[in-house]
Amino acid sequence: MDVNNYVLINRKVLKFVGLYPTSIVRYIVCCVCMFTIIIPQAIQIFEDWQDLAVVLETSSVLLTILLAVLKSLVWISNRRKMDLFIEYMLTDYWELMTAQVPNVYIVYVKKGHLFTKGYLFLICNALVFFFSLPVIETLVAVIKDTGDNSTKHFPFVALYPEPCYHFPMYEVVYFSQIVATSLCGLIILGTDTLIATALFYTCGHFKVLQTKLENIGAEIDLMQRVHNKGNVVQKIKLQVIDIIKHHYTILWFCDYMETIFSPMLFLQTIASSLIICLVGLQVATANMDAGIISKSVKYISYLLMALFQLLLFCIPGDALINESSMISRVVYTIAWYELPAWFKTEICLLMLRSQKPSKITAGKFYVMHLENFNAVLSTAVSYFMLLRSFGSDETNEKL
């Protein structure tokens, strides 16, 4: 079990954008590239703030890029803690999970790897649609001889000086948008999948701990059947000490995750409701372009990515609560055995601590689980209905 087989994508992406190992130069270069699209989009909103359609289309992309910048800034501000956290997670924490109870944890390890690859696919899928749509529109217009070659579109709506819409600056700006949004996607991919992977690995630890506790129950049964109990009691003592240390390590790791990831999850929860609302509105109002291709295609891919981005935290967060809660149930089963006094004390302490399930929150306000996912969707729908009513009013006034 080599950890690099499961986190290779995460490490490559984080290294490329300068987040792990921390490289301030690489990170600054990424931020500068992203600001080459942030500033034109902000100018576009400022110039056309009365046009609701333009504002909504521009804001959906701008909000995602700003979210990537803010989350990476939180990461960089805690870079020492982040470096120590990742180094520990990929060495000692991994070895503790894989050393004693084989294959119990493998389901969650594979889930972390699968979610990373799935998220990478959705990000690439959304970006490819955005990058290719202007080219396809131009080709269709040329084939049908219905296009105005003087009017050129970029992958993302933004306002540039007039020379940028003509050769060769048009190609340069087009490429700059590709670079800026690709770096944004890599930063989001690296930060989000690392959080999800850490949560899944912690679920794997709780699964291993459950198996250890079940083995303790088998040892107690054996102790009650044999006459020479000395060796069995000594073995149980060593196993109990190991379980207590392991449980303490998991709880410490959960608290550490809460400290460093909670601010980023808070930003994510707030932004996700707005992004899902804005992108969903684009899907609902998109029109057919060039007779054969619809803008709704690219926004559907964008919406899928936005939904998965939130699920990336809620699904492992929900699993963390469930797996940590299972510890108390297993301990409760063991407590019914006839146990020595020293063992009863340890089991009672373990039972008391395991009654409080481990969890990760968004800014100490929202617990990241599937119920919170439903709450964010409900908020997004509320925003959607409100903005759609504004759009209807604006259309009626023009008519």
User: 174-191, pLDDT tens digit by residue?
Assistant: 999 999 999 999 999 999
Percentage of the chain exceeding pLDDT 90: 52
Task: Say whether pLDDT at 336 is over 60.
Answer: yes
Asked if residue 206 lies in contact with residue 327, where contact means CB atoms within 8 angstroms, the answer is yes
Return contacts of 54-58, CB within 8 angstroms, 24+ apart: 54/157, 56/278, 56/281, 56/282, 56/387, 57/157, 57/282, 58/156, 58/157, 58/158
Higher-confidence residue: 235 or 72?
Answer: 72
- Residue 172 — pLDDT band, cuts 50, 70, 90? very high
- Residue 290 — pLDDT band, cuts 50, 70, 90? very low
pLDDT for the residue 101:
77
pLDDT for the residue 391:
58
Task: Say whether pLDDT at 321 is over 90.
Answer: yes
Q: Whole-number mean pLDDT of the chain?
A: 85
Closest to 303 (Cα-Cα) out of 288, 271, 281, 270: 281
pLDDT for the residue 279:
86
pLDDT for the residue 355:
80
Task: Say whether pLDDT at 62 is over 90.
Answer: yes
Task: Say whether pLDDT at 121 is over 90.
Answer: yes
Closest to 316 (Cα-Cα) out of 216, 197, 231: 197
Task: Say whether pLDDT at 316 is over 70.
Answer: yes
pLDDT for the residue 202:
95
| Spatial separation of the C-alpha atoms in residues 19 and 300, rounded to whole Å | 30
Task: Say whether pLDDT at 293 is over 60.
Answer: no
pLDDT for the residue 387:
75
